[in-house]
Structure 1
Amino acid sequence: MAALVPVVDPSALPRGPVRITLYSWVVFALSFGLLISDYMARQVLNAVFPLLKAEWALSDTQLGWLSGVVALMVGLLTFPLSLAADRWGRVRSLAVMAAMWSLATLLCAAAANYGQMLIGRLMVGVGEAAYGSVGIAVVISVFPSRLRATLSAAFMAGGLFGQVLGVAVGGEISASHGWRVAFLVIGLSGLALALGYALIVRERLIASIAGPAAAPAGRGSLSLRALFAGRCVKQVYVASGVQLFVAGALPAWLPSYFNRYYDLPVNAASRLAALLLLACGCGMILCGMASDRLTMTRPDSKFRLAIAYSLGSATALTLALLLPAGPAQIALLAVAMFLVAGTTGPAGAMVANLTPLAIHGTAFATLTLAHNLLGLAPGPIVTGWLADAIGLHDAFRVLPFASVLAAWMFFRARRTYSADLAALETGRVPG
């Protein structure tokens, strides 16, 4: 999902160049293109679940692992690979990352069995693990500071476009030419972009435009105690991750759901799922905007909105699954998808408010870690396991419980928010 791209806090970075150059836009375009390739490589699998299940006689648990292992690797490796990129060179690292996930996607195309496909998907996750945090750092460094918020939002949108295209394009190609060709096309296009990035984007040119902004920021000021100081921020990390359990499960399994319960062919099921993914991305952005606008005078209202988004998604999904297949159910599923990732904006703002400015980049990476390990990785896996036991429809009926749990945790976190904020404002670390 787009909300899950680790974003460097714009205000925590040094001042950038004073003007925009043509090369700045070239860097943005290539980085944006690679981000789309990143999410297409991640999401194409979900479009071909029905074909893999039939060809290799896979269980839903096995299918869930193929999806969840990518998020698991992203969660585990974001920190170490981001640190390695800072030492080795961000531009060089980004080209290597893109080549790795593209080659891994080609390995998926050539997989002869489930074990080979699982290894390929694991390597996709390794390649993608640090792209979001390192890529946005490179993009921001070559633009003036006044555009950092806009660029961060645009970069996040690339993840959304990649998810939609991965499901839609993957479904269309696999329906007409087979699932291997879908992986092949996306892998080759990613390799072409990686080669173009390596040839055109140069560390030396980045440094000449960015000046001091090209250097990594805030590494020496990392304080693990500050990252987890106070009860509130720890609960926000966990609550946001738990809510994304649902946001990870639904995109992975909706194409299969429409294939099984609506009797739609793979391409039609993928198109319908892609539309709901688009609703999810729009909801993420609009819910975040609503959070900023409605909480200007009452910062703690972000908790009320996060609770409302969690309970709203749970209610819409519960009602949808009480209805038979048809337009009314699809409409309620669209409402659920619109709200399911709406908590990412308020949660990000809470974490920013509850951690010192100097470590905001690391705080967002910590939030991303929680998103992947608590939500995006286990969501598809557990849903697949439940689908084997009770059927996919009934497995979906369990998902609202995660949203209710997330709402309860946001409610508990709100009780210490003001006290923890006050401690930070007076220079103390919350207890």
Structure 2
Amino acid sequence: MTRRYAWVVFAMAFALMMSDYLARQLIVSMFPHLKEEWGLSDAQLGGLVSVVSVTIALGTFPIALLVDRWSRVKSIALMGSIWSLATLSAAFTHNYGQLFAARAAVGLGEAGYGPAAGALLSRLFPERLRATVFGALLSAGSLGAVLGVVLGGVFADRWGWRAAFVIVGIPGLVLALLFLLVRDYTTVRLPAGTTARPKPGLRKLLAELLRPRSAVGAYLGGATQIVVMSALYAWLPSYFSRYLGLPADQAAARTALVVVAGFFGQIVLSFAADRLARRDRRHRLQLPAVLSLVSLVLLTAAFAAMPPGNPQLLVILVAAFTITAPFGVVASVSVDVVHPALRATAMSMAAVAQNLFGFAVGPLVVGAVSDTYGLRAALAVIPLFCGFAAAFFWFASRHYDRDLRRVEAGIATDDSSDEDVAR
């Protein structure tokens, strides 16, 4: 496959990832409308965000096992169709339980997309570009979240919150079906001598995936950082509405600026991590470790010491730029340190950690704390998770080079592995 073809496939994956997060984040701008119409608590509203992540966490690993053995392209088309149809169904719900179930179905569709897209792109681009490519791909999530927050507020104010689900669901379905035109790569089989071949069972497979300490540290670091990021993206529209008295569309516009800052941070800092890794491969993980501490300081100062207003927003914007630094790195590390036959499954391990211990935790915890102590207090406490993320990334950096050498040595003697370079 040519370099041009590789970038065309990347563009398609980017567009579908953007649709994914647009569908996921659309709900947050509807919180004021749902709170007024159905009398929901903040904990219940947070649950509408968290349930998507819980479903992803429960489904991504078994689905990724099938992706590695079936087809990346067909999996992408199927997953995108499921979450788009689930988004459409949310428009026809009449109570909290029905909407909660529709949101859970969105997560079921998303469960296999990240691992399948990551495995496909890892075969099209070389290792030296993977953090950049994965960072750029995952930045589509930030862009989709921006569109979800902004468009959700606009559509809900003009046509009602139900119309927003219909408008968002249809384009996602079209993008998913277009992926059937993409060529897949031949499924890679594990070498006979590996402890991770499917026949010995799930225990040995998990042992192979968790053997690289750098991968485990990256999984946990990404998850704890996402606790903070997901809490910000879910609750900033409500924060600006409650503490500044802004209508839903203006609160959504301010939140969109924060998400856009994260979008650029994810691209720029993933590229920076790849550049620094040319000097010392450990720098790929050391950079997000340092920037996690920067995010901790900035966000704590913003919500604990600064009154609501433009200066506070400026500090939040800088923190939003740094807080997304790890996510391209986590995706890159997760596939770098495992056998090529396990790349989708390795991506699923990162997705399990990030969704179950990250996306599912942040909005729900902030909602629960807000019901007792207020939203501002909840947002002042949640940045503490950035400190844990920094420790996990630093731990991973100490083992990364050794894990890479082990995989490189294994691939060099394995005739079943192809070079992962787009020619």
Range of TM-score over shorter length: 0.7 to 0.9
Partner in structure 2 of residue 69 of structure 1: 51
Does the alignment pair 1:172 with 2:154?
yes
Partner in structure 2 of residue 215 of structure 1: 186
Partner in structure 1 of residue 347 of structure 2: 364
Deviations 1:208-246 (A, max 9, x none): xx5xx5223356764433321254442332222112111
Alpha-carbon shift at residue 324 of structure 1 (Å): 0.9
Partner in structure 2 of residue 125 of structure 1: 107
* Aligned residue identity for 1:337: A
Alpha-carbon shift at residue 116 of structure 1 (Å): 0.8
Select the residue among 80, 90, 96 that pairs with 1:98.
80
Alpha-carbon shift at residue 281 of structure 1 (Å): 1.5
* Aligned residue identity for 1:307: A
Question: Structure 1 residues 254 and 218 mapped into 2: Cα distance closer, same or farther (>3 Å)?
Answer: farther
Does the alignment pair 1:341 with 2:324?
yes
* Aligned residue identity for 2:358: G
Which sits farther off after the overlay, 379-388 or 73-82?
Answer: 73-82
Does the alignment pair 1:391 with 2:362?
no
Partner in structure 1 of residue 271 of structure 2: 289
Which sits farther off after the overlay, 158-167 or 65-74?
Answer: 158-167
Which sits farther off after the overlay, 107-116 or 344-353?
Answer: 344-353
Does the alignment pair 1:381 with 2:364?
yes
Alpha-carbon shift at residue 139 of structure 1 (Å): 6.8
Mapping of residues 30-109 of structure 1, within 5 Å: 31-85=13-67, 89-109=71-91
Partner in structure 2 of residue 244 of structure 1: 226
Alpha-carbon shift at residue 118 of structure 1 (Å): 0.3
Contact kept in structure 2, 1:75 and 1:373, CA below 8 Å: yes
Alpha-carbon shift at residue 38 of structure 1 (Å): 1.6
Does the alignment pair 1:316 with 2:298?
yes
Alpha-carbon shift at residue 370 of structure 1 (Å): 1.3
Partner in structure 2 of residue 8 of structure 1: none
Partner in structure 1 of residue 280 of structure 2: 298
Question: Structure 1 residues 266 and 159 mapped into 2: Cα distance closer, same or farther (>3 Å)?
Answer: same
Which sits farther off after the overlay, 247-256 or 361-370?
Answer: 361-370
Alpha-carbon shift at residue 352 of structure 1 (Å): 4.9
Q: Which runs of 5+ in 2 are unaligned?
A: 197-204, 411-423
Aligned-residue CA RMSD (Å)? 3.2
* Aligned residue identity for 1:107: S
Contact kept in structure 2, 1:306 and 1:347, CA below 8 Å: no
Partner in structure 2 of residue 9 of structure 1: none
Which sits farther off after the overlay, 329-338 or 76-85?
Answer: 76-85
Partner in structure 1 of residue 165 of structure 2: 183
Tell me the secondary structure at the aligned position of residue 261 of structure 2: helix
User: What TM-score does the superposition give when structure 1 sets the normalisation length?
Assistant: 0.81
* Aligned residue identity for 1:289: F
Q: Percent identity?
A: 38
Question: Structure 1 residues 235 and 37 mapped into 2: Cα distance closer, same or farther (>3 Å)?
Answer: closer
Aligned residues: 398
Quote the Cα distance in structure 1 between the aligned partners of 2:148 and 2:255.
11
Question: Structure 1 residues 80 and 421 mapped into 2: Cα distance closer, same or farther (>3 Å)?
Answer: closer
Partner in structure 2 of residue 325 of structure 1: 308
Question: Structure 1 residues 93 and 305 mapped into 2: Cα distance closer, same or farther (>3 Å)?
Answer: closer
Quote the Cα distance in structure 1 between the aligned partners of 2:71 and 2:27.
31
Quote the Cα distance in structure 2 between the aligned partners of 1:75 and 1:375.
10
Does the alignment pair 1:407 with 2:390?
yes
Deviations 1:380-418 (A, max 9, x none): 111111111111110001112111122233344455556
Quote the Cα distance in structure 1 between the aligned partners of 2:12 and 2:33.
32
Question: Structure 1 residues 214 and 331 mapped into 2: Cα distance closer, same or farther (>3 Å)?
Answer: same
Q: Which runs of 5+ in 1 are unaligned?
A: 1-16
Deviations 1:293-325 (A, max 9, x none): 234223333443222111111111011111111
Partner in structure 1 of residue 418 of structure 2: none
Contact kept in structure 2, 1:218 and 1:359, CA below 8 Å: no
Tell me the secondary structure at the aligned position of residue 382 of structure 2: helix
Contact kept in structure 2, 1:64 and 1:381, CA below 8 Å: yes
Partner in structure 2 of residue 5 of structure 1: none
Alpha-carbon shift at residue 89 of structure 1 (Å): 4.8
